[in-house]
């Protein structure tokens, strides 16, 4: 029997998600709802399959392997595992220059 992980959203990730959904809702409320449901569903799935996401490529290049991501194009949900917990740390737009953003935000959250 596999263990169940608790999925916790960092305040920064909650802010990211809220900003994304509000931005999308300005033009398409139905799409905003679908994006929100999809990201929440995938985060919830991490409770059973925490290693589902890939290691963040920009961090792998820096020999940092503890952060994973799930991509729902163009959004990247970045998380890390901690004992029986999955910490969702950020939801970012992959169309931006994300390497500096990821490194700065994730390394500060250690």
Structural domain boundaries of the chain? 6-108
Do 85 and 71 meet the contact criterion of CB atoms below 8 Å apart?
no
Asked if residue 9 has pLDDT above 70, the reply is yes
**How far is residue 68 CA from its own chain's centroid?**
8
Across the range 66-92, mean pLDDT stands at 93
Helix axes 29-45, 11-27, angle to 10 degrees: 150
- Burial 13-26, CB ≥16 within 10 A → b, else e: beebbeebbeebee
Of the two residues 29 and 99, the one the predictor is more confident about is 29
The confidence score (pLDDT) of residue 110 equals 62
Short-list 60, 61, 51, 56, CA closest to 86: 51
Q: How confident is the model at residue 1 (pLDDT cuts 50, 70, 90)?
A: very low
- Predicted confidence at residue 106, as pLDDT, reads 61
pLDDT over 90 (residue 71): yes
Q: What is the pLDDT of residues 22-69, one digit of tens each?
A: 999 999 999 999 999 999 999 999 999 999 999 988 888 888 888 999
> How many angstroms separate the CA atoms of 15 and 61, rounded?
27
Tell which CATH classification among 3.30.2310.20, 3.30.930.10, 2.40.50.140, 3.30.420.40 matches the domain 6-108. 3.30.2310.20
């Amino acid at each position: 029997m596999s263990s169940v992980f608790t999925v916790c959203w960092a305040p920064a990730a909650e802010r990211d998600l809220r900003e994304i959904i509000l931005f999308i809702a300005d033009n398409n409320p139905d799409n905003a709802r679908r994006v929100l449901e999809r990201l929440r569903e995938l985060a919830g799935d991490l409770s059973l399959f925490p290693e589902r996401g890939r290691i963040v490529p920009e961090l792998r290049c820096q020999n940092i392997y503890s952060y994973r991501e799930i991509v729902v194009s163009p959004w990247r949900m970045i998380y890390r595992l901690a004992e029986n917990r999955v910490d969702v740390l950020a939801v970012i737009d992959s169309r931006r220059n994300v390497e500096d953003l990821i490194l700065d935000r994730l390394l500060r959250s250690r």
